[in-house]
Amino acid sequence: MNTSFITLLSTAQNTAPEPGKIVGFDIGLIWDLSLQWLALFVIIFILYKLLFKPVTEFLEKRKNAIKQTIDDANHQKASAVEMRANYEAKISNIEEEANKILKEARAKALAREEEIIKAAKEEAELIKQKAFSDIKLEQARIKDEMKKEMIELSTIMAGKFVSASIDDTKHTELIDNIIKEMGDVQWLN
């Protein structure tokens, strides 16, 4: 390119322009200009084929890679936001579940407590009823024993009364003896 420019300058200097013209156009100048334009187009074509297409392809690939990276980053960000929301929901669900489990445990404990109290009351009632029945049986037994003792005592008294001639002193003495015996018998039981 340098050589054609120099030739253009030398040709322009060798040919003197006609009077009234700044540059003289002759066939040599037009031929040189045509060759320079042709060389320029060939160089542009070669540079286009060698550099422009690969560079544009490289830039397009780079642009697509950057776009893909941005899309992946946005997708990962959206996924991370979704995961965070899921984790927060799970955490709140865990708290709710823990509260629910605690409520269920409390309800079970209260139910168990009521069952234990009910069973204890039933057992106490059974013990009380058994004690009352034992007391009634004991009272009946004691009444029977007292009847037997009274019968014995009456028999003894009648026997003593008949066997002895009763006078006032003996009568008083007999009653005192019966009272003494009756008092001893009652205290023995």
d(CA 38, CA 46): 12
pLDDT (0 to 100) of residue 82 = 93
Nearest 5 degrees, angle CA 23-CA 28-CA 30? 65
Expressed as residue numbers, the domain containing 75 is 2-188
Ordered mean pLDDT values, 10 residues apiece, the chain (189 residues): 55 53 73 94 88 85 95 94 89 84 92 92 92 90 84 76 66 79 58
pLDDT (0 to 100) of residue 114 = 92
pLDDT (0 to 100) of residue 187 = 46
pLDDT (0 to 100) of residue 184 = 57
Q: CA–CA distance from 185 to each of 145, 175, 179, 181 (Å)? A: 11, 15, 10, 6
Q: CA–CA distance from 34 to each of 7, 8, 20, 51, 97 (Å)? A: 13, 11, 25, 25, 89
Query: How many distinct structural domains can be found in the chain?
Result: 1
